[in-house]
Chains A and B, each alone.
Chain A
Amino acid sequence: MHLDHSHDGPAAVSADARRPDGTRRALRIGLGGPVGSGKTATVAALCRALRDELSLAVVTNDIYTREDAEFLLREAVLPPERITAVETGACPHTAIRDDISANLEAVEDLEDEVGPLDLILVESGGDNLTATFSRGLVDAQIFVIDVAGGDDIPRKGGPGVTTADLLVVNKTDLAPYVGSDLGRMAADAKAQRAELPVVFQSLRAESGVRDVADWVRKQLAAWTA
């Protein structure tokens, strides 16, 4: 069998920090959370905030369509070759946790085809509160919930709320209308997460995705250090 000279060796197997050619691969950050909490909007806002300073790409995991990928394409937050959709066979949590093979193919293909990349955002399909990313797929994960989903979500906990590297409570502008108590959500989150950070954001506010983008920059600084 002849060797394919574009590859010095077979692709990395899982979470190896180095690519086959020895260079450091892109930082991979997962965004999970329930349906409608604003994952895709947060990804879009992050792309707009970071695209001028970083080389980045997005992998979406849709449930039964390419809708999230289509949204990002339509919004033109990144050139189309930097956005890939993974199909999940009606089980979005499986594709990010139990069988990450399709997502690993997707992130490696992005690095091969548009690389070198600094950052890849992997967005999960909207799922339930127990869905978390495998450490074999992402280096850090953000869990996105929103105030309209019920202000008792932080109190209820669950792996996403409790263990995500960053918890984002989205749509804070809606709190007065849906009767959510932001103070209580913050206290419950603190109780569940101890020192792990929480960001309250409204993408409609002037600050928008700023706090999350700053957190991502810090992760990236630690990754490349």
Chain B
Amino acid sequence: MTAAATGVRATARIVARDDGRGGTSLPVLEGDGPLALRRTRGSGDEAHVMLVGAMSGPLGGDHFAVRAGVEAGARLRVGSAAATIALPGQAKGEARYDVRLTVADGAELRWLPEQLISAGGSDLRVTTHADLAATARLVLREEQVLGRVGEEPGRLVSRLVVRIEGRTLLDQELDCGPGAPGGWDGPAVLGGHRAVGQAVVVRPEFEDRPVSARVLGEGAAVVPLAGPAALVTAVAPDALRLRRVLDEALKSLG
């Protein structure tokens, strides 16, 4: 970790490996500064890791990164202890949060962090790249909450890219808050909703048996992507209702 007038730079790393005894070991588990990692009790052959935010952040000018690699045959679940709050900072410029996930053949990653809250005055760019091998499996949920209670949100740009064997399956960027291109809160994009999220499920068997598209109430849909994956997209008035609809959709995918 380095700290300067430009903000904090921190990179946390996780490597999960099949331990050859029906479990998953974590040969690399390195927190960095505000990004602390903790192994928690796993279940079956799946290792569990918690991201523990030691400071609230990211603040303006901070660059955080998380790298998680799940090697062939290993199973990893990553969660976080609390929501991440983007706050305005002393340093100039936007904050960055960059997540790179790689999942090898026969491996599974469940990436299920708590919400990202875009506080008033903050300016954060999040990028999440998941690179999967042909037979990798992924469950990835991300939720954005625009503003704390009763507060206008900050600027938030969040891009999610999922690739299988280098082929881009999903590429979506949400840009919202003050300074975002016009209409972001209007009837085509968020329509006044303050919580938005998506969940991607990649499974090789979806190639032959894709999920059928369906709508879940007013603000959510489950759709098959153009490849072995399903996507849940949801908007909701608040974080609680968003979580409920995403989890319900994930459950329905089995």
A and B: direct contact (Cβ < 8 Å)? no
Q: Mark A residues whose CB is within 8 Å of B.
A: none
Q: Mark B residues whose CB is within 8 Å of A.
A: none
